[in-house]
A and B are shown apart, each in its own frame.
Chain A
Amino acid sequence: MTRVERAAPRRGGKRSGPPEPEFVQLLTPEGERVSHPDYSVDFTDDELRGLYRDLVTVRKLDAEATALQRQGELGIWASLLGQEAAQVGSGRALRTQDMAFPTYREHGVLYCRNIDPIMPLGLFRGVDQGGWDPVANRFNTYTIVIGAQTLHATGYAMGVAKDGKVGDDDETSEAVIAYFGDGATSQGDVNESFIFSSVYNAPIVFFCQNNQYAISEPLERQTRIPLYQRAAGFGFPGIRVDGNDVLATYAVTRAALDNARHGQGPTLIEAYTYRMGAHTTSDDPTRYRVASEVEAWQAKDPIVRMRLLLEKQGLADEAFFKAVDEQARVEAVKLRERVLSMPDPDPVTMFDHVYPNGSPLVDKQRAEFETYHASFEGSH
C-alpha cells in the first residue's frame, strides 16, 4: 500500500480540466478497465450490473429529494450528485458487521447498507433529528458538526479492539469507517481522531470524499499538500483513489477495511471527486466556481463510465438500462409518497428523550406546555 502509482496513461477523452492527480483507478472515464499493481479485484457480471444499478438508483433518489426541497417538502437537502461512485464503492465494500459513521451527505452509503432510504428524510423535512438506532443499523445518525463523528468512530473502533473483534476472520472481525469531507480535514477533531486511532492502532478507515469545496472554499484553502499525504505524519498509510470510479473505490476501501479488521490499524483514503451540485439547496455555487470546471468534471461522470463498461463488455443491453431506470423511478416515486405522508410531529413530543432517566425540570415544562395548550381548547 506504500506505492501509489498512476494506473495507466489516459487514453482519449477531454483534456480541458486541471491535470489529473495520481490516484488508484480501475475504470477510466471512457469505460476502459485498467489494472493497478496493488489493487486488483474481480467482479462478477452480476456485481458489475449491481453497482451500476446502485449508482443510478442513488442518483435518482437524490434528485427526487432535491425536487422535494424545491417544492417545499424538505427544509433543506444536501445532494450527493457527482459523488455516487465514492459512496457506492465504499458502501458496498463494507462487510455486514462493519460500522459506518456518516456526515449528512452519505445517502448513497446508507442505501448500500440496505437501509430504508426514507430514514434520513425526516431530518431534512424537520420532523425529527434522525431518530434511528446507529448500532442496530450499523450506521450512525447523521452528524452535522463538521468532523465530530470521526472521534466517535475512533472511540467505537477502540471498543471493537477491546472486545477482541480484531482478527483474521473476515466474517466476524469488525472494522469501522468514518466519512468526512475535504473541509473537515482542517478540524481539530479529525486530526485528533488520526492521533487516537494511530496510537491505539484502532481498526478504522478514514474515508475523505474530497469534493473540492467546503461550501464555497476551494481545496487550497484547506491544504497545501494532497490530503492523503497527511496520513504519513500520523503514522499510517494514506492513499488517493479516483472517487468517480466505483470499482477502484470499492477495491481500495475493501483492502483498507480488511487491513483494519486484521489488526493493521487505520488507513486514510482520499476519494478524489467533485460535488456537481450545490453544497445544499441553500447554496449558490455559481458565486464561487466557473462553468468550465463543472463541465470538465461532467466528463468524468461515475455513471457514464460504468455504462460504457457494461456496453463494451456486452454485459447489459438497452433493455437492462431501461429496466434500471424504471426501477429507480419507481423507488423515487415511492420515496416521494412516503415523504408527503410523513405526519408533522405532535409538538409535545419535543419534550421526549432529553434524558434516559428523565428530568423533573423537563417534566414540569411538558406539563405546563400541555396545560397552556389545553387552555385554548374550545376557544376557537
Chain B
Amino acid sequence: METLTLGKALNLGLRRAMEDDPKVLIMGEDVGKLGGVFRITDGLQKDFGDERVIDTPLAEAGIVGTAIGLALRGYRPVVEIQFDGFVYPAYDQIVCQVAKFHYRSKGKVKLPMVIRIPFGGGIGAVEHHSESPEAYFSHTAGLKVVACSNPSDAYWMIQQAIASDDPIIFFEPKRRYWEKGEVDTAATLSGAYPLHSSRVARSGTDATLLAYGPMVRTCLDAATAAAEDGRNLEVIDMRSLSPLDMAPVFDSVRKTGRAVVVHEAAGNVGLGAEISARITEECFYSLEAPVLRVTGYDIPYPASRMEEEFLPDLDRVLDAVDRSFGF
C-alpha cells in the first residue's frame, strides 16, 4: 500500500501503462516538459521521450483527430484535454469520428483511445475551467465514459481504460487531485475492480446517494454527518457513466426505498435524469419517495466567488435527504 494523491495515482497509472505497452502515447497541450498544467504527466516525457509524450499544437480538434489516425496506425493514444471547457473544439471529432469508426467499418477498426478531461469546479478558476460536460458524451453511442473519484480508482481505472479497445472519455475530478488515499500498487491490473461497474462506497439502509467523480467525497461526508443524526445512508460511486451499471443501484434502492442523485453538472437533461428514470422503471414499487436530484443550477458556470453556492455541497445533499423523508 502506498499513500498517494489522486493526481499522483494517475501519474503512476499512466507510467505503468506506458511501461506495459510501447504503443501507448500521451498527447496534449503542455503534457511534455511542463508535465501538464496539473502535473498529471509529470516526468513522463523525460523518461519515455518526446516521441511518446507529445506536446501538441494548441488545437483540440487537431489533437483528437490526429490521435484517431495514430490509433488507426496501431498506437494507443491517451489524449489530455487541458480543461473541461476546452473540449468543445474536439467535439465533432469525438462524436462523429471517435464514436463511429468502429460502427462505420463493421467492427474492422478499433480506436483504443482515452481522452482524459479534468472536470468540475471548486478551484476558484475563471470561465471555462470548471465545467461538467459528461452528459454530452454519455449521450453518444460508441463512446464509453467513466469518472474516477479516489486515488485507488484513479490508478487502476486509467490503466484499464488504456488497455480497453473501446474509446473512453475519462473524467478526472480536478478539485480532488490533491486528496490522498491508499493505493495497492503491487496488485495486478487483471485483479482490479471492473472498469464499467458501479460500487457501493458506503453501506447504509435508510436512503441511497448516487454520485460520481468529485461528488462522491461530498456524499460520503454527507453520510457521515447524517449518521450523527441517526440516518444511515448508502453511497454508490457510479464510476461508469456510459454504460451505467445499475444493478447495484437497483439492489440498494429496493433496500432503502429512497434515492438522491448528485452531480455538479446542470440538472436539466443530465445524468441524474437518466439514473432517476431507470430507477423508476425498475424499482417503482420499492420507492417511498420520488428520486430527487441535487445538481448544479441550469445556468452557465458562475464566477468563482459564487461557485460554493452553485455546487452541490453537504448541506444541499442532506436537505434533499430530508425532503425525501418528507414524502
Instruction: Return A366 CB to nearest CB of chain B, in Å.
Output: 13
Is B62 in contact with A156, judged by CB distance below 8 angstroms? no
CA distance A168 to B72 in the complex (A): 24
Is B164 in contact with A357, judged by CB distance below 8 angstroms? yes
CA distance A157 to B69 in the complex (A): 8
User: Is B70 in contact with chain A by the CB < 8 A criterion?
Assistant: yes
**A158/B142 contact (C-beta < 8 A), A131-B105, A132-B108 known:** no
Instruction: Return B72 CB to nearest CB of chain A, in Å.
Output: 5
Is A193 in contact with B65, judged by CB distance below 8 angstroms? yes
**A355/B166 contact (C-beta < 8 A), A156-B69, A158-B66, A159-B75 known:** yes
CA distance A212 to B70 in the complex (A): 32
User: Residues of A contacting B107 with CB < 8 Å?
Assistant: 352-353, 356
A363's nearest neighbour on chain B, judged by CB, is B243
User: Is A129 in contact with chain B by the CB < 8 A criterion?
Assistant: yes
B141's nearest neighbour on chain A, judged by CB, is A354
Which of A148, A150, A362 is the most central at the interface, judged by chain B CB atoms within 10 Å of its CB? Answer: A148
CA distance A143 to B96 in the complex (A): 10
User: Is A23 in contact with chain B by the CB < 8 A criterion?
Assistant: no
Encode B121-154 as 1/0 by CB contact (under 8 A) with A: 0000000000000000000011010000000000
User: Residues of B contacting A135 with CB < 8 Å?
Assistant: 72, 109
Instruction: Return A344 CB to nearest CB of chain B, in Å.
Output: 16
Is A188 in contact with B70, judged by CB distance below 8 angstroms? no
Is A133 in contact with B105, judged by CB distance below 8 angstroms? yes
User: Residues of A contacting B51 with CB < 8 Å?
Assistant: 162
Give the bracket for the number of chain A residues in contact with chain B: 35 or more
A349's nearest neighbour on chain B, judged by CB, is B106
Is B68 in contact with A151, judged by CB distance below 8 angstroms? yes
User: Residues of B contacting A193 with CB < 8 Å?
Assistant: 62, 65-66
User: Is A328 in contact with chain B by the CB < 8 A criterion?
Assistant: no
B52's nearest neighbour on chain A, judged by CB, is A162
Instruction: Return A193 CB to nearest CB of chain B, in Å.
Output: 7
List B residues 100-130 near A (Cβ within 8 Å). 100-110, 112
User: Is B61 in contact with chain A by the CB < 8 A criterion?
Assistant: yes
Is A356 in contact with B166, judged by CB distance below 8 angstroms? yes
Sample (17) of A-B pairs whose CB atoms are under 8 Å apart: A128-B106, A130-B105, A131-B106, A134-B105, A141-B101, A148-B92, A148-B97, A162-B51, A188-B61, A188-B89, A189-B92, A189-B93, A192-B57, A192-B65, A354-B102, A355-B144, A355-B166
Known interface pairs A130-B104, A131-B106, A359-B243; 5 further A-B residue pairs with C-beta atoms within 8 A, sorted by A's residue number: A133-B109, A151-B65, A155-B72, A354-B103, A356-B165
